[in-house]
Amino acid sequence: MIASADRPLIVQSDRTVLLEVSHPRHEEARDLLVRFAELEKSPEHIHTYRISSLSLWNAAAAGVQPEEVIGGLNALSRYPVPDALEREIREAMARYGRVKLVKDGQQLQLTSDDPLLLVQFASTPELAALMAGPPRGAAVPVDPAARGLLKAALLRAGYPVEDLAGYTPGAPLRLALRSRSRQGEPFALRPYQEDASRAFYAAGGPQGGSGVVVLPCGAGKTIIGIAVMTQVQARTLILTQSQVAVHQWIRELLDHTDLPEDAVGEYTGSLKQVRPVTVTTYQILTHRNRRDEAFPHFRLFDQEEWGLIIYDEVHLLPAPVFRVTADLQSRRRLGLTATLVREDGREAEVFSLIGPKKYDLPWRLLESQGWIATARCAEVRVPLPEAERMAYAVADTRERFRIAAENPDKLPVVRALLERHRGEPVLVIGQYIRQLEELSRELGAPLLTGRTAQPERERLYADFRAGAIPVLVVSKVANFAVDLPEARTAIQVSGTFGSRQEEAQRLGRILRPKADGSPAHFYSLVTQDTREQELGEKRQLFLTEQGYEYDLLFGAEVLAGVPR
The confidence score (pLDDT) of residue 496 equals 77
> Are the C-beta atoms of residues 35 and 59 closer than 8 Å to each other?
yes
Determine, yes or no, domain membership for 143: yes
Q: Answer whether residue 289 is part of any domain.
A: yes
Q: What is the pLDDT of residue 135?
A: 93
pTM equals: 0.83
61 and 122 part of one domain: no
Among residues 339, 398, 316, the alpha carbon closest in space to that of 541 is found at 339
- Closest by Cα among 261, 300, 259 to 282: 300
User: How much is the pLDDT for 562?
Assistant: 64
The answer to whether residues 210 and 323 belong to one domain is yes
Q: Rounded to 5 degrees, what are φ and ψ at 334?
A: -115, 125
Task: Write the DSSP assignment of 527-561 as a string of letters.
Answer: ETTSHHHHHHHHHTHHHHHTT--EEEEEHHHHHTT
Same domain (yes/no): 394, 440: yes
Q: Let me know whether 89 and 122 are in one domain.
A: no
Contact 333, 311 (CB under 8 A): yes
Assigned domain for 344 exists? yes
Q: Looking at the structure, do residues 132 and 276 belong to the same domain, yes or no?
A: no
Tell me, yes or no, whether 283 and 354 share the same domain.
yes
- Label the pairing between strands 308-312 and 236-240: parallel
Q: Are residues 106 and 88 in the same domain?
A: no
Q: What stretch of H or E contains 47? A: strand 46-50
- Kindly state whether residues 297 and 398 are assigned to the same domain: no
pLDDT, residue 362, reads: 79
Which strands, in side-by-side order, build the sheet including 264-267?
264-267, 277-281, 236-240, 308-312, 332-337, 210-214, 357-360
Where residue 275 sits, what CATH number does that domain have?
Answer: 3.40.50.300
CA distance 317 to 471: 31
The confidence score (pLDDT) of residue 514 equals 74
How many domains, in total, are found in the chain? 4
The verdict on residue 1 lying in a domain is no
116 and 248 both lie in a single domain = no
Asked if 275 and 152 sit in the same domain, the reply is: no
Q: Degrees (nearest 5) of the Cα angle 371, 373, 374?
A: 120
pLDDT of res. 5: 74
Query: 195 and 77 share a domain?
Result: no
**Considering the domain boundaries, does residue 169 fall inside one?**
no
Q: How far apart (Å, rounded) are the C-alpha atoms in residues 449 and 486?
A: 20
550 in the same domain as 455: yes
Domain limits for position 449: 369-559
- pLDDT in tens for each of the 564 residues of the chain? 456 778 999 999 999 999 998 999 998 998 899 899 988 877 778 889 999 999 999 999 988 999 999 999 999 999 999 999 999 999 999 999 899 999 988 899 999 999 999 999 999 999 999 999 999 989 999 999 999 999 999 999 999 999 999 999 999 999 999 999 888 899 999 999 999 999 999 999 888 999 999 988 778 999 999 999 999 999 999 999 888 889 999 999 999 999 999 999 999 988 999 999 999 999 999 988 888 888 889 999 988 999 999 999 888 888 889 889 988 999 999 999 888 877 677 888 999 999 999 998 877 788 888 888 888 889 999 999 999 999 999 999 889 999 999 999 999 999 999 999 998 999 999 999 999 999 999 999 999 998 888 889 889 988 988 889 999 999 987 665 466 667 889 999 998 766 766 777 777 777 777 777 788 899 999 999 998 888 887 777 777 767 777 888 999 989 988 665
Residue finishing a domain among 304, 334, 361? 361
Q: Is residue 342 part of a domain?
A: yes
Question: Which pLDDT score, from 0 to 100, does residue 334 have?
Answer: 97
Q: Is position 150 within any domain?
A: yes
Domain stop point among 329, 361, 393: 361
Q: Could you tell me if residue 186 is inside a domain? A: no
